[in-house]
Amino acid sequence: MTPRPSTTPAVPQRKLTTRRISFGYAETALARHYVSGDPVMSAVVSVLSALFPEGEDFFVRSVRAYRDRITDPELRRQVAGFIGQEAMHGREHRRFNDRLAALGYPTRAIDRTLGWGFKASERLPGRARRLAVTAALEHYTATLAETLLEDERARAILTVGEIRNLFLWHALEESEHKAVAFDVFQAVSGNDRVRRWVMNATTVGFVAVVVSWTTVSLLTDPATWRHPLRVLRSLAALRENPWVTPEVWRRLRDYNRRDFHPDDWDATELTARWREVLFGADGALAGRVATTTATA
């Protein structure tokens, strides 16, 4: 995927569907290293999943704080769709995180710490900066999500079918709503210097949080101490990881381009294809969606 230059300042029409769907893991005999038997990737995926519920609640609050200032009816509809989708993601990742906690991952500690940190930050002034943090992290989730949807190697890593389903559903919707927080920020602030400064600070914070909690996960895993060489091999294998590539890094850094817009990385065909694969007439998850709410 290559970026195309931004041309249209207006918010394009975008239909966002909230799909109420549940995933279950109770009867699945889940191993601690459920991601391809790989200790480091299992820890990383668990940490990311543990960050989602509080992270997405924060995104919703950051966007909702500006709802009254959004005049464009199309953007207002998209905000409603964004909130609906993120609420469902939080609910399903909480269920998955409970399962991960039973396997020994520190998902509850991550959830509590993050929730405390976000709420503490919201007692301080800086509403526009929080929205900019949300837009920056939405660029991260969209980039990671579109890598999963585009790269077969990334999907092959998620060896447990139900976990792959959870992440594919989440990835599709992250790609569908990737521009909403950004467009709200542009509509209510548009301060390019703040947007890019916040992205740099968010990158440092996000990497620090993921690396430190992954380290905690690995250090509290008895297998790390029994088979330290396996962990070292797993760390070395990150060089081959489809999410750790110069291309992914280039996409992440593209956000700092002055005229950047999330839609510059056009995912129209990608999302259409995955909507069909997952939720089309013969879609793999179509029969499991309890209800859908479309915004346009």
Task: Specify the DSSP class assigned to residue 23.
Answer: -
Least gap, CB of 94 to Fe ion (angstroms): 12
Task: Specify the DSSP class assigned to residue 18.
Answer: E
Stretch that binds Fe ion, among 5-13, 54-62, 100-108, 267-275 (CB under 5 A): 54-62
| Sequence-ordered alpha helix ranges (H) in the chain | 39-64, 73-103, 107-122, 127-150, 152-157, 161-176, 180-188, 192-219, 222-226, 228-236, 246-253, 268-279
In the complex with Fe ion, the residue whose CB is nearer, 174 or 183, is 174
| CA-wise closest residue to 87 among 53, 126, 110 | 53
In the complex with Fe ion, the residue whose CB is nearer, 38 or 182, is 182
Three-class DSSP category at 3: coil
Residues 6+ apart with CB under 8 A from 148: 154, 155, 167, 168, 171
Three-class DSSP category at 266: coil
Stretch that binds Fe ion, among 36-44, 50-58, 104-112, 269-277 (CB under 5 A): 50-58
What residue is closest to Fe ion based on CB?
A: 89
Q: Which 143-202 positions form the footprint of Fe ion (CB under 5 A)?
A: 174
What letter represents residue 47's amino acid?
V
Least gap, CB of 289 to Fe ion (angstroms): 16
In the complex with Fe ion, the residue whose CB is nearer, 58 or 105, is 58
Least gap, CB of 29 to Fe ion (angstroms): 28
Q: Does 14 bind Fe ion (CB under 5 A)?
A: no
Least gap, CB of 59 to Fe ion (angstroms): 6
In the complex with Fe ion, the residue whose CB is nearer, 78 or 217, is 78
Stretch that binds Fe ion, among 52-60, 187-195, 204-212, 287-295 (CB under 5 A): 52-60
Count the site residues for Fe ion by CB under 5 A: 4
Find the length of the chain. 296
User: Considering only residues 19, 33, 77, 89, which one is a binding residue for Fe ion as defined by CB under 5 A?
Assistant: 89
Least gap, CB of 51 to Fe ion (angstroms): 11
**Burial class (CB within 10 angstroms; exposed 0-12, middle 13-18, buried 19+) of 268:** exposed
Least gap, CB of 240 to Fe ion (angstroms): 27
Q: Does 93 bind Fe ion (CB under 5 A)?
A: no
Task: Specify the DSSP class assigned to residue 243.
Answer: T
Give the footprint of Fe ion on this chain (CB under 5 A). 56, 86, 89, 174
